[in-house]
Amino acid sequence: MTEPGGHPLDNPVWAALLGPQAHLAERHGEAVRYPADVSPFAGLPDEPGEAAWRDAAALAGPGGFFATAVVDAVPPPAWKVVLDIPGVQLVDSSVPAQPDAEAVPLGPADVAEMLELVAATRPGPFLARTVELGGYLGIRRDGRLVAMAGERMRPPGWAEISAVCTAADYRGQGLGTRLVLAVAAAIRDRGETPFLHTAADNVGAIRLYEALGFVRRRTAMFRAARVPAGPG
């Protein structure tokens, strides 16, 4: 399998699954992905050729989905693109990362509540085993989980902050910001650098993250395509 080249954030899924998160990787030749109940994202080499796309088809299976992140990889004509979301990649420049006394670690025992919060707030993909990616923190009020944030991709030297969400009746209190800073502090404590992604049209989120000390590194494309169901 081709090893990652260039900057890890230029192809973060590929770099993560061939690096620090290799224990989670499902592979077929030059295609790699997270388990379907962990994350929908998959990776290919920087410039995938026909062989890599054949491997992707074999990995996803006929009629299955193959979702790439950041890399603007164009699938073969027989595939059907079902999702194209332009995004922005931001990296820590001067984030005032700090632990939060109210933030508590979240794990497998909290998944039902985490899934309920995600369903209500839609921060992005969060599945039954996403919590295994680690680093999840939450804030509870009267025992109820009202805000959370955690980590997703971990290319060498980096960790992505993800699934930042707050229940509607607790927004405007800065809980999400506090959790982003707390997750960032934990990432830095491991000697890694925080980064994150957001949709390019989410102007409010981009403005907030830039105010927190993240800077735009590059544009990103999140694309999902369906593998042809059969020959032709």
pLDDT tens per residue across span 75-120:
999 999 999 999 999 999 999 999 999 999 999 999 999 999 999 9
Instruction: Name which CATH class applies to 91-219.
Output: alpha beta
- Of 73 and 51, the structure prediction assigns the larger pLDDT to 51
pLDDT of residue 146: 98
In the chain, where does the domain assigned CATH 3.40.630.30 lie?
8-86+220-226, 91-219
User: Mean of the per-residue pLDDT values for the chain?
Assistant: 95
CATH topology of domain 8-86+220-226: Aminopeptidase (3.40.630)
Beta strands in the chain (DSSP E): 26-28, 31-33, 41-43, 65-70, 80-92, 104-105, 137-141, 144-151, 158-166, 193-199, 214-226
pLDDT of residue 6: 84
What percentage of the chain reaches a pLDDT higher than 90? 93
pTM here is: 0.93
What percentage of the chain reaches a pLDDT higher than 70? 97
Q: Which residues, other chains included, contact 174 with Cβ-Cβ below 8 Å and sequence gap of 6+? A: none
Concatenated DSSP letters of 168-202: GGGTTSSHHHHHHHHHHHHHHHTT-EEEEEEETT-
**Per-residue pLDDT averaged across 194-221, rounded?**
96
pLDDT band for position 232 (50/70/90)? very low
pLDDT band for position 40 (50/70/90)? very high
**Per-residue pLDDT averaged across 8-27, rounded?**
97
pLDDT band for position 72 (50/70/90)? confident
pLDDT band for position 2 (50/70/90)? low
**Would the pLDDT of 231 be above 70?**
no
pLDDT tens per residue across span 45-55:
999 999 999 99
pLDDT band for position 4 (50/70/90)? low
pLDDT tens per residue across span 117-170:
999 999 989 999 999 999 999 999 999 999 999 999 999 999 999 999 999 999
Q: Which residues, other chains included, contact 227 with Cβ-Cβ below 8 Å and sequence gap of 6+? A: 56, 57, 60, 61, 62, 63, 64, 65, 66, 79
Q: Are 70 and 86 in contact (CB under 8 A)?
A: no
pLDDT of residue 11: 97
